[in-house]
Chains A and B, each alone.
Chain A
Amino acid sequence: MTVFTCILFLFLIVCAVAASLSKSLLNTVLIFMSYSLVMSIIWVILESPDLAVTEAAVGAGVTTVLFVLTLKKIHAIMGADAAEKDAENELEYRRRRNS
């Protein structure tokens, strides 16, 4: 096992612990994405490039997008100011549509 692999495994463990300990949900999702990216590099080192491509596309790409979308739907991403602005924008949009 080379030094590079050891560093990657260490990063993996740190990511896994940090994802579960992080208070902010958005941070958790982003840490999870970096976990997937490191995992895909490790798949290449373990000589399974098939899995690496899938891990990079599904784990780091699509899953993260779906998580972020869900967080946006439940208004977990934005702060209080942004949420207020959001509501104003929506009111404006509805007024424009009704007139």
Chain B
Amino acid sequence: MSRKVSREQYEKTISYRLKSWLEGSRDLYVGNLEMRPQSPRQEDEDTRRQHREDQKKVRARVYDTEHNREVLLFKKVYRIFSLLFCVLLVSMLLIGVADLPPFGEADKPVNNEVSQRYIEKGLQETGAVNIVTGMILDYRAFDTLGESHVLFIATCTVLILLRTDGKEGESGREESNDRAYEPKNDVILQTAARLLVPFIIIFGIYVILCGHLGPGGGFSGGAVIGAGLILYVSAFGFEKAERFFTGATYKWMSFGALACYCLSKTYSFYTGANHIESVIPLGTPGAILSSGLILLLNICVGVVVAGTMYTFYVMFRKGGY
């Protein structure tokens, strides 16, 4: 049965004292223990000098690199071995290059039936005028899918290594340090960026979209777009760039592009392996809407690469969006 007690009565009980001891709200020593004020540390000149000399002696013994026999031996051996290693590496590479067949020879081992087939039947089988794109996005599309995933995983690794959690403290200081200078409002940089960035991004889009017609493709176009975005963000600061590109944008963009790539390639592998007629027409070679899935795959790779380049920059700059 519980009963109400007054505060004064409660303060006399053991449970109150135990509680205050546990919480540390009452110092047991205050009023119970006699304490002598601590005298300031006294050091006369002699002992101080002694200390200083001791420290100097220790430092001289520890950092005496000129008379340390092991350090000297290591230096000598290091020089000899680095020279040997360089000579060995250079001679190995030179011997390897000397064994290569001459440039552009007809009976080289790489000129076998595989490249023959790519060159002869590439256009009618993939519909791409650019044979290189036909190879990497049709015959060897599985390779390119792996490359896109490597890029995405690389961004994840950079994110894990460089990410700051946004809390105040050591990481927050670093972030404020970087934030202090931006936007810098550099007139030259901003004017140049205003003139160049639209053209760079349009050129990147052109390289991606015409990857099956001429030189270019997803990777190079994506890298060009990423470089344009980096120029924009270094000229105008993160606040403006975050109006259209944030961490969520990157996440959904790469997820969507990679999933789209996987699904479309799954479809073409399935139909190809089972000899089923694909419903996607190859179109007339040379037209922009031709060569089946290659245009779509180029766009997917380009989106992933552009986002990855930009995200690398953001991670290095301030460790997170």
Contact = CB atoms under 8 A, between A and B. Distances in A.
A69 B180 contact: no
A93 B176 contact: yes
Given A58-B309, A62-B226, 20 more contacts: A50-B132, A50-B216, A50-B217, A52-B215, A53-B207, A53-B215, A53-B216, A53-B220, A53-B223, A54-B219, A57-B220, A62-B227, A62-B313, A65-B227, A65-B234, A66-B312, A66-B313, A69-B316, A89-B180, A89-B181
A70 B316 contact: yes
A50 B223 contact: no
Interface in A53-99: 53-54, 57-58, 61-62, 65-66, 69-70, 73, 89-90, 93-94, 97
Contacts of B221: 53
A39 B77 CA distance: 36
Interface in A4-41: none
Contacts of A65: 227, 230, 234, 313
A93 B220 CA distance: 40
Interface residues of B, number: 24
A49 B223 contact: no
Interface of B: 130, 132, 176-177, 180-181, 207, 215-217, 219-221, 223-224, 226-227, 230, 234, 309, 312-313, 316-317
B interface: dominant SS: helix
Nearest to B133: A50
Nearest to A1: B103
B304 to A, nearest CB: 14
